Structure formats: structure tokens, C-alpha cells
Chain A
Amino acid sequence: MTRSIAVGFDGSPSATRALRVALALARDAGATTWVLHARGMLEERTAEPAIPPVVSETVTELGLDPERVRWRVENGDPCSVLLRSVAPPVEAEILVVGRRGHGHPEGLLVGSTSLQLVEHARVPVVVVPPLDE
């Protein structure tokens, strides 16, 4: 039984799609969803972001128990933060990430969180494609 699903969230449209998929998976599995925001070196100097309204709205729309959805801000790049989430306290058993749309060199491993995750993760990874594909 899956108990914990982690999804990377940076507020982008692809992240929002990934969030919906992660929440739907968690609802079906009865798992806790950890919504992880990676805070980079540049963002670190700003105030820690609160849970974005779109997360709460999507939780409500999909009929999930808000207690089973956790918002977590972690220092690091998006790929490292998701890879580390297999350890406590998140202990993710599935990682969910959005893939960027056209205009980005997605065929390349460099700069692609989703491809890097697939390359390195020790747990299953769900890559959510953009709407335009």
C-alpha cells in the first residue's frame, strides 16, 4: 500500500498539472501527498512561501482531506529536493513531476528535472506531460 506521494511544485502550469495527478493518485491510494517546493539560492533570501491558493483549491475540488496534504519548502534544486524526499520525514514511495512544454529542450538531460529524476530516483516516478502534447 502506498502511504506517501511527493510532488514537485513551483507554481508553473506543468507543476499544477502534476499536482492534480498526484492528488488523484493519493486519493485513490489513501496516501498522504507532500507538495514540495524547492527553494534555490536566489529564492532563499525571500520570505518562505506559504501554501499557494491553487493547492488548497485543488485539494477541495478533488474532495481530499486537507489533513492528508502537506506543504513543505526545502532548500535545494528541484531534482535534489524530490530525490531526498524518499527519506524521512516525507518517505515518498512515488514521485510526481510535471514536464515542461514546447520551447524547452526536453530531449536533453541538462535542465530537465523530469529526466534527471527518472535517471536517479529509487522509487517510481510519474512524469506528467504538458497540456499541449
Chain B
Amino acid sequence: MSPLVLNADYGAQAHEEAGHPERPARATAALEGVADLHLGGDLVVVGPRAARREELARVHAGGYLDELGAFCYAGGGDLDPDTYATADSWSIAVQAAGAGLAVVDALAERGDGVGFVVTRPPGHHALADRAMGFCLLNNIAVAAAHLIEAGERVVIVDWDVHHGNGTQSIFWDEPRVLYVSTHQWPLYPGSGTPAEVGGPRALGRTLNLPLPPGATGDVVRRALESAAPVVESFDPTWVLVSAGFDAHRADPLADLALTSGDFAALAALAGGFAPGPGRIALFLEGGYDLAALRASTTASLSALLGESSADEAPTSGGPGAEAGPAALEQFWRTVEVLASSEEDAR
């Protein structure tokens, strides 16, 4: 069995707003999900570390970092109707971003294992210069930028129910990162159509697979399976997963119909994209039903660790069976059209 390389302990309890669904109990539920794996000596906990400014500045504007820090130190408040920051949120967010760096570095050094980063606040909506959607710093983007700086090629698989607009935007024109997202559509944040395929230097490096409300696990699996040729031709050296568990049927913020068994299947698919051991890490994003979050964490990690431990069966029969393949078709058409107009412009 592969070891699980975990980083979670950076005191994120102080990032909390009364009544907000993005709350400290989420991290506890995810860690309970890890405990349910009974890993014993196969659990490797890496120590906390803060992301350094230069590591954050690879994906975030310097002015934004300064102002977010100042906003928090002044006491924090609401950054938009969804997103809050407390006086402690800056140091917590910097630790969350650092947790991802610590995990990928530990995996690289070990050369084996599966990484899991319990990041709060989550990150995939955070833009280069703007907090939104509960997210302050884009944790997975900070880790991916760290890897590409070291010469790696990173595929980011984002199965959170919401489109990861921040991650997409940060790597829009970056050919060394492939961003693949399955998400409910329509839904917040409103981006994530198949026609969004990447910037001129990175055409085809963004692949969006939007799915209708009610979509079951077979639909999401089929969508992600359809992405396999794109991933294979990209030839990644690392796989990072924006592992939100809010596509679970019990989640209060969305309407997909997955179970923990479906997340196990998605994790196995993402694991299949990794070129070898020690090259995949999951980053916690959304997931607001605590029991679903706990069970889905266990199921996903167990699938990647070579065991199967899902307490719910995979689902099938929901709407959108053709949504994934249709999105892929539109993706290829758009890439082709944009590539030929680029050619004409030259």
C-alpha cells in the first residue's frame, strides 16, 4: 500500500465566520475521513510551513498580496457577498498555500505516496488579484507554479462542483499546465464553458466539461474519461487534484448526485493520469456536508492508496450522459478554429 503524505495542521480554526458553510468543522471532517483509513505507519505527516512571498507571487499580483494582508491585519471583513476574512486569515491562508508546497516537496523527495492537503480556506476561485467564492489564495495554483518552475508539466483535475475560475485564469496562457474541470452548469461562478480553451500560447490547455444538475457518477466519470486523450497527449509529470466534495448528492450548495463511491472512481481515474508513484496530490476545495465530506475523503484516498473503501455505491442513470463527450467535441472545434485564426494572423 502507498503511504499517504498529509499536511493539515496549521491552525485554520481562526478562519471562521458565524453561520458560514466554509467552516473549521470541514477540516475536522476531512481528517476524520483520513483517520477512517486506519493507515498506521503508512500515514506520513509533513510539518506546516508558510508559503514565501516569492512563491505566492508566481500566481498572485504583489499589490493584491499586500492589500489582502493589510485588510486582514486591519481586522478583516467581507470581501464579497460570499467571501470573508478575519484578522488571522492572512497568516492562515499563507500556511494553507505552504501546506501544498510542503506536500509536493515531500512526495518528490520520497518518490512514492499520495498527497492530501487539507486546505482552508479553499483556493480554486481565487484570481491573481481578487478573492472570491470563499477563496483567498489559490493553493493549488501556488503548488503547480512551484512544480513548473522546477521543470514539471502539471495536469490539474478539478472535480469540485463549481468551476475553478481562478485556477483557469491564472494558467490561461501557460502551456506547462493543463486544467481539466468537471462542474455543474449553470452554477457559480458562471465561467467554465467548453469554448474556454486557453490563451494563444496555451490553446487546448484548458478543458471544461460542464454537467447538468442531477448528473450521477457515471456521467461525471464518462466526462473525465473523455478527457484522457487530452491528458495523455499533454504527458503530465504531476497530477494535482482540486478535490472538492460538493458534487456529493448531500451537499447543500449544489445539485449533482454523486456518492462517496463515485469519488473513489474519479480518484482512480485521476490516479491513472499520474506517470508514477509520488506524483499525485489532492487539495481540499469545497464540500459542505460534513458526513459526505468525511466519507468521500476516505473513499477517494483509499482508491488512490490501492484499497477500496467507499461506504456508498457508485451512481448511474442521471441526466447528461452525452454532456462530457459533447463538451469535448466543442473543445476540439474551438481549439481548431482559434489555432487557424492564430495561423492566419501570422
Contact = CB atoms under 8 A, between A and B. Distances in A.
B311 interface: no
Nearest to B189: A76
Contacts of A105: 71, 74, 77
A110 interface: yes
B130 A79 contact: yes
B189 A80 contact: yes
Contacts of A41: 82, 133-134, 162, 188-189, 253
B317 interface: no
A108 B162 contact: no
Nearest to B71: A110
B129 A80 contact: no
Interface in B23-64: 63-64
Interface in B109-134: 129-134
Given A76-B190, A84-B190, A42 B67 contact: no
Contact of A108 (B67, B81, B83, B134): B67
Contacts, number: 82
B70 interface: yes
Contacts of B148: none
Contacts of A111: 71, 77-80, 131
A75 B186 contact: yes
B165 interface: yes
Contacts of B83: 77
B66 to A, nearest CB: 9
Contacts of B132: 77, 79-80
Interface residues of A, number: 27
A74 B130 contact: no
Q: Per DSSP, are chain B's interface residues mostly helix, strand or loop, or mixed? A: loop
A24 B10 CA distance: 52
B276 interface: no
Contacts of B186: 75
Interface string A13-53: 00000000000000000000000001111111100000000
Given A41-B188, A110-B71, A77 B129 contact: no
A40 B64 contact: no
B129 A109 contact: yes
A76 to B, nearest CB: 4
Q: How large is the interface on B (under 10, 10 to 19, 20 to 34, 35 or more residues)?
A: 20 to 34
A92 to B, nearest CB: 15
A121 interface: no
Interface string A70-96: 000011111111001000000000000
A26 B74 CA distance: 39
A104 B78 CA distance: 10
Nearest to B288: A41
A75 B188 contact: yes
Contacts of A104: 77
A105 B253 CA distance: 30
A10 B81 contact: yes
A45 B253 contact: yes
Given A41-B253, A111-B79, A80 B71 contact: no
Interface string B69-99: 0110010011111110000000000000000
A108 B188 CA distance: 25
B252 interface: yes
B81 A78 contact: yes
Nearest to B185: A75
B80 A77 contact: yes
B188 A76 contact: yes
A104 B131 CA distance: 16
B126 to A, nearest CB: 11
Contacts of B77: 104-105, 111
A77 B126 CA distance: 11
A58 interface: no
A109 to B, nearest CB: 5
A32 to B, nearest CB: 21
Which 6 A-B pairs rank lowest in CB-CB distance, beginning with the nearest?
A76-B190, A40-B82, A75-B190, A111-B79, A40-B81, A77-B132
Interface of A: 10, 38-45, 74-81, 84, 104-105, 108-111, 113, 116, 119
Interface of B: 21, 63-64, 67-68, 70-71, 74, 77-83, 129-134, 162, 165, 186-191, 252-253
Given A40-B80, A42-B82, 16 more contacts: A39-B188, A41-B134, A41-B162, A41-B189, A75-B187, A76-B188, A77-B83, A77-B130, A77-B133, A78-B81, A105-B74, A105-B77, A110-B68, A110-B71, A111-B77, A111-B80
